[in-house]
Amino acid sequence: MKRVLSGIQPSGDLHLGNYFGMMSRMIKYQEENDLFCFIVNYHALTTIKDKELLASNTLNAAMDFIALGLDPDRSTFWIQSDVPQVCESTWLLSNIVNVGLLDRATSYKDKLARGMTANVGLYSYPILMASDILLFGGEIVPVGKDQKQHLEMTRDIAIRFNQTFGDVFVIPEPDIEKTTQLVPGIDGQKMSKSYGNMIPIFGSEKSIRKQFMSIITDSAGINEPKDTHTPLFQLYCLFLNEDGQKDLADRFATPGLRYGDVKKELFEYFWNQFEPYRDKREYLSNHKDYVLDKLKEGSEKAGTVADIYLTKAREAMGLHYGETSV
């Protein structure tokens, strides 16, 4: 049994990119693995400055995850800030990280290019992420292609720490499915809350239908074959098995297909498939005490593991000075 670990940021409504990129895989992993999963609200501080919004997003993300199938009794599920040991661990790791490593972070450069403020939290984001993983002994880390570099940086940090102070941290392995592409948003870019191009998992039927109908398409006429390198085709394929994808490709190649009809069909497919999750989500929203109790249990379990690795790191670095002989 492997320890599988990953987290998700509560920077807004969770969307199909979150579900197909990480959440569905994490939910499958809990069946045969030691699953550690958490809501990374410390990370969200790099973009959210409204305390009420962050608090609301955090609890909503937790309820969304449970509604979609994460079982807090079969896994360790918690809120990042409920295990503050991760902050001390981040400082310890910061002292062995070269500035050059952080300067090479493409995610940081991309966010600055899109107008985000260049604060220290955003710059040191990879160190906090490394702490999230190493402090809990994560062996396998499911991440999207866009997080591949951050996971590589985590491995570099763990190796450097172990070489400097002795074997303390597990070197994590990434789980990046080779067949998994970045989930496109309605505009064709990567689906992202910050890009405003997402399709939420939960919400009103009217608003979500509007998002599906807003998926961009080309100007191909009704009697022309349609391009499969488009967000409409790629999003539809996420819901289909291999045979279904081949059938969809044949339909796109056959004249007479109307994009509007495909969008309506895709919405209905989505709406029906996620119906059981919507029912459970509504139940959880009316029983928040249950959710809070499960998150508390999860933070206690996670904190116990964090203490083990943090104690080892403190001892290895010489912070337990009273236990050394002079």
- Number of other residues whose CB lies within 10 A of the CB of residue 164: 12
| Residues 181-220 as b or e (16 or more Cβ within 10 Å = b) | ebbbbbebebbbbeeebbbbbbeeeeebbebbeebebeee
Active site residue 280: no
Catalytic residue among 145, 193, 210, 246: 193
Q: Report whether 146 contacts 107 (CB < 8 A).
A: yes
Mapping DSSP to helix (H, G, I), strand (E, B) and coil, where does residue 140 land?
strand
Question: Which contacts of 237-244 are long-range, i.e. CB under 8 A and separated by 24 or more positions?
Answer: 238/16, 238/20, 238/183, 239/266, 239/269, 239/270, 239/273
Which residue, 194, 195, 273, 277, is CA-closest to 238?
273
Catalytic residue among 28, 49, 51, 111: 111
Active site residue 301: no
Catalytic residue among 109, 190, 226, 288: 190
Catalytic residue ranges? 111, 190, 193
